[in-house]
Amino acid sequence: MPGDGPSELRPGSRPEFLRGLVASLPVTAGFTPFALVLGAQAAQKGLTAVETPLMTGLNFAGGSEFAAIGLWTSPPHLALIAAVTLMVNSRHLLMGAALAPFLKALPKRRVLPALFLMCDESWAMALADARSRGSFSLAHYLGVALPMWLAWIVFTTLGALVGPVLGNVETLGFDMAFPAIFLVLLRGMWSGLRAARPWLVSLAVAATGHLLAPGAWTVAAGALAGLAVAWLWAGADMKTGQEGAAV
């Protein structure tokens, strides 16, 4: 971290960092097979054991990395890959917006570098922790996110090294690890069917798009649909509340 580092990482905050570290271990272990699959696929597309960790370390977002590898050719169509990566990663705009209310009191020089480590899993765990405690612990977040980032780099590299030996690792079922992690995270954030309406609409739009015309665009379409529904229902609920108060 630049400068004097986050105050949360000074000696008094080490328990918070360790709390995050312990909480991250099951999730990190769960997406390890997924990292191996990505590394193996990258090797099959011609990326070396040096190029693979550069990709996974600098663009810490598994969905866009799988999309990029799926589109990889020799020579690669860089403009297309960049556009698809931007589209898939657009969900981070919504993720950051959800965290924003908890980050207002923290210095930007500490928060912005730390957000580089944010992925779906660390975001979900940090948001759930912040909501339960009423405040955001940067030390806890780093304890969650940093091990995930390092493990992602290490195991995608390992996958790139051993992938050619194992062949098609998807036949072993490793690719199911990522969906399983998401289901566990969603269960932890579940607060009732009413609050889950945007999730369900997002799922329906993305799934329908995938069936009709598979492609990375379905991720952005699902995210935008969920955002629109959340905004519309929030406005309707606010209007209903105001009418009830007036009565």
Residue-wise pLDDT tens digits, 177-233: 556 656 665 666 666 777 778 878 888 998 998 899 887 677 778 878 887 887 887
Q: Tokens 């899993």 label which residue?
A: 121
Within this chain, do residues 142 and 168 fall inside the same structural domain, yes or no? yes
DSSP conformational letter for 11: G
DSSP conformational letter for 16: H
Overall domain count for the chain: 2
Residue 77 three-state SS: coil
DSSP string, 160-195: HHHHHHH--GGGGTGGGHHHHHHHHHHHHH---TTT
Q: Tell me, yes or no, whether 1 lies in a domain.
A: no
Q: Is 192 exposed, middle or buried (0-12, 13-18, 19+ CB in 10 A)?
A: exposed
Within this chain, do residues 55 and 142 fall inside the same structural domain, yes or no? yes
Within this chain, do residues 17 and 56 fall inside the same structural domain, yes or no? yes
Domain hosting 208: range is 189-246
pTM, full prediction: 0.69
> By mean pLDDT, which of 14-28, 31-45, 67-81 is the weakest?
67-81
Within this chain, do residues 145 and 33 fall inside the same structural domain, yes or no? yes
Q: Tell me, yes or no, whether 180 lies in a domain.
A: no
State mean pLDDT over 82-102: 82
Q: Is 40 exposed, middle or buried (0-12, 13-18, 19+ CB in 10 A)?
A: buried
Those residues with Cβ within 8 angstroms of residue 87's Cβ, 6 or more apart along the chain or in another chain: 216, 217, 219, 220
Within this chain, do residues 115 and 148 fall inside the same structural domain, yes or no? yes
pLDDT band for 247, please (50, 70, 90 cuts): low
Within this chain, do residues 231 and 135 fall inside the same structural domain, yes or no? no
- Domain end marker among 173, 202, 221: 173
pLDDT at residue 145 is higher than 90? yes
pLDDT digits (tens, 9 = 90+) for 100-136: 999 988 888 888 899 999 998 899 899 999 999 888 9
Is residue 150 within 8 A of residue 30, CB to CB? The reply is no
